[in-house]
C-alpha cells in the first residue's frame, strides 16, 4: 500500500514537472532538499521539445560528480498538441563532505543528423551531518574517583629516555630490514581483496547476462575495477577510447557488442561470452599488477 502511494505521488510530481518545462529548455531538480552521506537521492530531468527532436539522456558512464550513479528509470515519450515530453529519474548518492552540493546533467538532442546540446539549470541538496549527541553533564560520563594513589618520589628520566631510544632503534632496524617486504605484502593483500570482490560481483552479473540492467551494471563494475588497475579513468571512456588506450582487439569487439546490447536492445547469444572476455582481461591485468609489485 505504501509503495503504491509513493508511485502515485511520483506520477503526480512528473505531471507537475512536465507543466513547468514549457520554455524549450530542460528542467531538472532533486526530489529531496537534503541527503545523508551514502543515502540514495532521486534527480529528475524533464524536457518539453519539438517532436522531431530525438533526446538522449546520459547513461551510467557519465561523471555525475560530486555524486555517484546508482540507477536510472526512463519514462516513455509522450506527445500532444504542445509537443513531445521526455523524462528520466536518476538515483544518485554522494560521499563528498561539502555542505551544499550542486548538479546539472547535460542532455543531447538529434535533429535530422545535427547534434544539439542542452543543459538544465543547477539544482542542489544540503548534506545532513550525522553527529553524536553529547551528554548534558560530564558527570554522566566520568564518575569521581577519590582513591589516593602512591607515586614514586623521583622519576628516573635517564632510564626512561634510554628505553625510548632503544625502542626506536629496534623499530628502525626492523623497518630497514623488512619494511619493503611488509609494504609488498600489504599491497598484495589489498589488491587480492579488491580482486576477489570484483570477481564475486561480476560472476553474479554473468548469471543474468540477458537482462539489460544487469549488463549495464556489469560494464560499470568492470570499468571501475580495470580503470584502477591500469590507472586510467575508464568509467568515463567510450569503447573507442578504451581500445585506443589498451589496444586489445578482442576486448574492443566485446565492448562494442555489449554497447549494442545495452543501448540498442540487440541482445545476442554471445552476450555471456562478451562478459567473459571482460572478466578474463581484468584477471590478466590483475596478474600483471601482482607481478609488478612482487618484482618492484
CATH of the domain at 15: 2.60.40
End residue of a domain, out of 97, 127, 157: 127
Residue 134 lies in a domain: no
Q: What is the domain range of residue 254? A: 175-295
116 and 206 share one domain: no
End residue of a domain, out of 63, 92, 127: 127
Summarize pLDDT for 245-259 with one digit per residue, the tens.
888 999 989 888 888
Number of structural domains (the chain) is 2
Phi, psi of 267 (to 5 degrees): -75, 125
Show Cβ contacts of residue 42 under 8 Å, excluding neighbours closer than 6 positions. 30, 31, 32, 89, 90, 91, 92
Q: How many CB atoms lie within 10 A of CB 229?
A: 19
pLDDT at 30 over 80: yes
Q: How many CA atoms lie within 13 A of 197 on its CB side?
A: 10
**Distances from the Cα of 90 to the Cαs of 66, 73, 87, 144, in angstroms?**
14, 6, 10, 55
191 and 281 share one domain: yes
The Cα diameter of the chain in Å comes to 96
182 and 99 share one domain: no
Residue 161 lies in a domain: no
Nearest CA among 27, 88, 25 for reference residue 59: 88
113 and 15 share one domain: yes
115 and 204 share one domain: no
Helix (H) or strand (E) holding 175: helix 157-207
Residue 160 lies in a domain: no
123 and 199 share one domain: no
Residue 167 lies in a domain: no
Length of the chain measured in residues: 296
DSSP letter at 112? Answer: T
Q: What is the reported pTM?
A: 0.42
DSSP letter at 251? Answer: H
187 and 289 share one domain: yes
102 and 187 share one domain: no
Summarize pLDDT for 95-151 with one digit per residue, the tens.
888 999 999 999 999 988 889 999 999 999 999 976 555 455 545 544 555 566 555
25 and 114 share one domain: yes
As a whole number of angstroms, the distance between CA 278 and CA 225 comes to 11
Summarize pLDDT for 157-207 with one digit per residue, the tens.
788 898 898 899 888 888 777 777 878 888 899 999 999 999 999 888 888
State the chain's mean pLDDT as an integer: 82
**Distances from the Cα of 98 to the Cαs of 12, 15, 86, 105, 145, in angstroms?**
31, 32, 31, 19, 43
Amino acid at each position: 500500500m505504501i509503495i503504491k502511494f509513493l508511485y502515485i505521488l511520483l506520477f503526480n510530481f512528473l505531471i507537475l514537472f512536465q507543466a513547468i518545462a514549457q520554455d524549450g529548455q530542460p528542467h531538472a531538480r532533486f526530489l529531496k532538499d537534503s541527503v545523508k552521506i551514502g543515502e540514495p537521492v532521486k534527480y529528475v530531468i524533464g524536457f518539453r521539445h519539438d517532436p522531431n527532436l530525438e533526446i538522449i539522456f546520459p547513461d551510467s558512464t557519465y561523471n555525475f560528480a560530486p555524486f555517484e550513479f546508482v540507477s536510472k528509470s526512463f519514462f516513455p515519450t509522450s506527445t500532444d498538441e504542445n509537443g513531445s515530453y521526455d523524462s528520466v529519474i536518476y538515483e544518485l548518492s554522494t560521499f563528498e563532505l561539502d555542505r551544499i552540493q550542486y548538479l546539472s546533467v547535460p542532455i543531447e538532442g538529434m535533429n535530422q543528423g545535427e547534434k544539439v546540446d542542452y543543459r538544465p539549470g543547477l539544482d542542489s541538496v544540503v548534506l545532513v551531518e550525522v553527529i553524536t549527541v553529547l551528554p548534558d553533564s560530564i558527570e554522566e560520563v566520568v564518575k569521581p574517583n577519590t582513591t589516593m594513589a602512591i607515586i614514586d618520589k623521583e622519576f628516573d628520566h635517564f632510564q626512561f629516555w634510554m628505553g625510548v631510544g632503544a625502542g626506536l632503534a629496534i623499530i628502525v632496524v626492523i623497518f630497514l630490514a623488512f619494511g619493503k617486504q611488509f609494504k609488498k605484502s600489504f599491497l598484495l593483500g589489498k589488491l587480492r581483496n579488491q580482486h576477489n570482490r570484483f570477481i564475486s560481483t561480476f560472476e553474479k552479473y554473468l548469471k543474468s547476462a540477458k537482462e539489460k540492467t544487469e549488463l549495464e551494471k556489469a560494464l560499470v563494475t568492470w570499468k571501475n575495477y580495470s580503470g584502477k588497475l591500469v590507472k586510467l579513468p575508464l568509467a568515463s571512456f567510450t569503447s573507442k577510447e578504451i581500445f585506443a588506450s589498451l589496444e586489445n582487439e578482442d576486448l574492443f569487439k566485446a565492448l562494442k557488442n555489449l554497447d549494442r546490447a545495452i543501448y540498442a536492445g540487440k541482445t545476442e547469444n554471445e552476450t555471456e561470452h562478451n562478459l567473459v572476455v571482460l572478466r578474463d582481461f581484468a584477471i590478466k591485468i590483475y596478474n600483471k599488477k601482482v607481478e609488478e609489485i612482487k618484482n618492484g
